[in-house]
Structure 1
Amino acid sequence: MPIRNRRHTVERDGGDLTIWHGHDAAQQQRALFVLSFRQRDELAAVLSRAGWRVVAARRADGLRQRVAASGTAIAIVDARGAIDDGIAATAELARIAGHGDALLVLVSRGDVDRLGALHDAGATHFVVSPIAGEVLLQAVRSAERHVLRMGGGWHDPAAGAGAPLGWRHDAERGSLQLTPALAEATGFAETSDPRTLLRALGPDGRQPALAAIRRLTEQLPATAFAHDLPGLGRVVQHVARDAHSGRLHALVEPLARVGDIGAVVREALGSVRDHAGAARWLDRRIEAGERPGVRVLAVSGVDPINRQQGRVVGDMLLRAVERRIEQAVRDAGVARATLARLGGTAFAVLLPHGADAGLEAAVAQALARPFVAGSAVVSLGLRQAVVLAEPGEDGAALILRGQGGLPGGRADDGPRRAPAGDADGLSGEVGRAIDRGEIAILFQPQVDLLSGRIVGVEALARWAHPDRGELGAELLFAAAGQARLSARLSAHVQQLAMRIAAAWDAPLSRLRLSINVTAEDVAQHDFAETLLAAAAASGFPRDRLTVEITESGLITELGEAAGLLATLRRAGCRVAIDDFGTGYSSLAYLKALPLDYLKLDRRLTQDIVGSHRDRVVVRGVIDMARSLDLTVIAEGVETVEQRDALATEGCQLYQGFLCAEPLTVPALAALLG
Structure 2
Amino acid sequence: MSLIKQLWIAIALVMTVAFGGSLVVSVLSARHYLEQQLQVKNIDNATALALSLTQMDKDPVTMELQVAAQFDAGHYRFIRLTAPNGDTLVEKVYEGKLEGAPSWFARLIPIHAEPGQAMVQDGWKQFATISLASHDQYVYKSLWEGTLELLAWFVFGSAATGLLGTLAIRFITRPLNDVVGQAQAIAERRFTTVEEPRTPELRAVTRAMNDMVGRLKAMFAEEAARLETLRKKVNRDAVTGLSSREYFLSHLREIIAGETFGSVGSLVMVRLVYLNELNAKLGHRRADELLKDLGQVLYNAGNGRGGQRAGRLKGGEFAVVCPTFESPTEAAKDIHDRLMKEWLPKWQNEFTDLFHLAAVRYHRDQSLADLLTRADEALAQAQAKGSNSMFVVEDGKSRMSVPAEQWRTLLTEAVRGGQLSLAFYPVVRGSEGAALHQESVIRLQTDASGTLLSAGDFMPMAANLNLTAPIDLNVVKLAIEHLSTRSGDIAVNLSAETIADFQFRNQLTELLQGYPEICKRLLFEVPEYGVFRQFDAFKELARTLKELGCRVGIEYFGQRFAESDKLSTLGLDYIKVHPSYVRGIAENTGNQEFLQGLCNMAHALGIVVIALGVENRDDLPLLAKLGFDGATGPGVK
The answer to whether TM tops 0.5 is no
Q: Report the TM-score when normalising by structure 1.
A: 0.43
| Higher Cα Rg, which structure | 2
Which protein has the bigger helix share?
2
Structure-2-length-normalised TM-score: 0.45
More strand by share: 1
